[in-house]
Chains A and B, each alone.
Chain A
């Protein structure tokens, strides 16, 4: 899918969306899932291509209403991608919500704000929350606490 972000466009590869969709909390006992979104900024066309991601790892803490990314494997994966040449940027986090149309929780906003403060590479992060019916992408930044919904799509409309 393609959407317009803050002064740039984002292309999310189908494989990324398909992986996230597999983790959707569509059963009463499914726990939250999450990971990071990784992409390349193209030299031409003002485009960010999100084509890598991580998924829940054994040492992450997961419950019906929380996902705490704690396993070091997420960072290891990112560093491995950039081993030869550093062209991959951290784009943001993704996680699931046990609701149809997701909205960021207070905990999410606090988390995103902290990340915005830490990220010295990019001034805006894009975070995804996957509900059972829809997925949303929120931009956080460039100003502190500036959060905006950039795209919201029904799973069925993505042509996956």
Chain B
């Protein structure tokens, strides 16, 4: 079995499957039922967004939670709706739904569930309104803010964003490789960045760079992931020098111009320059390590290097699996001069 087969085996292990989320979808449907039954909320249409909707989900590592993102498209015009009111109402309806309750976050309301006494899953409920709710294809707005004072409606295009990613690469083996490459990079990201704070780059950033720079390499996921990693590396630019004279890096990326998001948006905006510089260093190391894998002729050694990058889910074939059987021979003596 060659390296490509090892990559595909790895993908099988890390990818989020329907059955992984069955439990969570049932929980989501119960939540949505409660919201629908409430007289305090207007009618909404639900819509699945986030990595799972883009077929890019990976199983969380032990220190992280499964999550599912649900968009609630309230059938209201934003001029007549308060951006905080619905979030507050959702919170009030769901705050006693689980032991962990609910939390109002800047872009959503999060409901957390535990399993075996630990937080294990969460559902993010994202609220949207329309310019004109009778025009379903018209401009949408996301409710942002944590309190009544700081809340506002921000232009967003969540449905088209999911389509943009899903249709970025032509269907078939090319699209399959594109999705695998993003899952590999998300697995790498999960292992190399702490899950707290904003030190971890947002997945949508990596996904968008991949969508714009992916090149198909038949039966060669290694080269495909190297190309995308180098494209990420190329996005960085020197912003400044720190007190030691070392470069401080920046990276900026707007959501696609063809979509109707707030102008001037930047998917990396929450990261500080220090965090972006840390991100750059990790990407540099990723590119170096992947290049070393490409130069390594021995399959088992390639897999050993890859398991250092992507974790133990990347299995290392044993030497007996990859080596030919030999007839034992060794000369008893030798005479050199």
Contacts and interface: CB of A to CB of B under 8 A. Distances in A.
Bound together: yes
Interface of A: 2, 9, 11, 32, 34, 36, 40-45, 47, 49, 65-70, 72, 74-75, 78-79, 82, 85-90, 93, 95, 105-108, 111, 114-115, 118-122
Contact of B328 (A44, A67, A121): A121
Given A11-B298, A90-B329, A34 B334 contact: yes
Contacts, number: 106
Given A45-B299, A90-B331, A82 B336 contact: no
| Most chain A CB inside 10 Å of its own CB: which residue of B1, B298, B335, B336 | B336
Contacts of B257: none
Contacts of B298: 11, 42, 47, 49
A119 B329 contact: yes
Nearest to A122: B329
B333 A69 contact: yes
A111 B329 contact: no
Interface in B102-129: none
Interface residues of B, number: 24
A150 to B, nearest CB: 15
Nearest to A71: B333
B95 to A, nearest CB: 58
Given A108-B336, A111-B334, A41 B328 contact: no
A111 B332 CA distance: 12
Contacts of A108: 336-337
Nearest to A2: B297
Given A107-B335, A118-B331, 11 more contacts: A11-B298, A42-B298, A66-B336, A68-B334, A68-B336, A86-B328, A87-B319, A87-B326, A106-B337, A107-B337, A119-B329
B325 interface: yes
B327 interface: yes
Interface in B43-81: none
Given A9-B297, A44-B322, A87-B319, A79 B337 contact: no
Contacts of A65: 337
Nearest to B324: A41
A27 to B, nearest CB: 19
B134 interface: no
**What 6 pairs across the A-B complex have the smallest Cβ distances?**
A107-B337, A121-B329, A95-B336, A87-B323, A69-B334, A40-B323
Given A82-B326, A88-B326, A118-B331, A11 B336 contact: no
A108 B334 CA distance: 9
B2 interface: yes
Nearest to B298: A49
Contacts of B335: 66, 68-69, 107, 111
Contacts of A82: 326, 328
Contacts of A41: 323-324, 326
A75 B333 CA distance: 9
B171 to A, nearest CB: 31
A21 to B, nearest CB: 17
Nearest to A93: B334
Interface in B172-214: none
B336 A34 contact: yes
A42 B324 contact: yes
Interface centre among A11, A78, A87, A122 (most CB of B within 10 A): A87
B326 to A, nearest CB: 5
Contacts of A66: 335-337
Contacts of B2: 44
Contact of A36 (B297, B301, B330): B330
B324 A111 contact: no
A2 B325 CA distance: 22
Given A9-B297, A40-B319, A42-B298, A87 B324 contact: yes
B334 A47 contact: no
Contacts of A69: 333-336
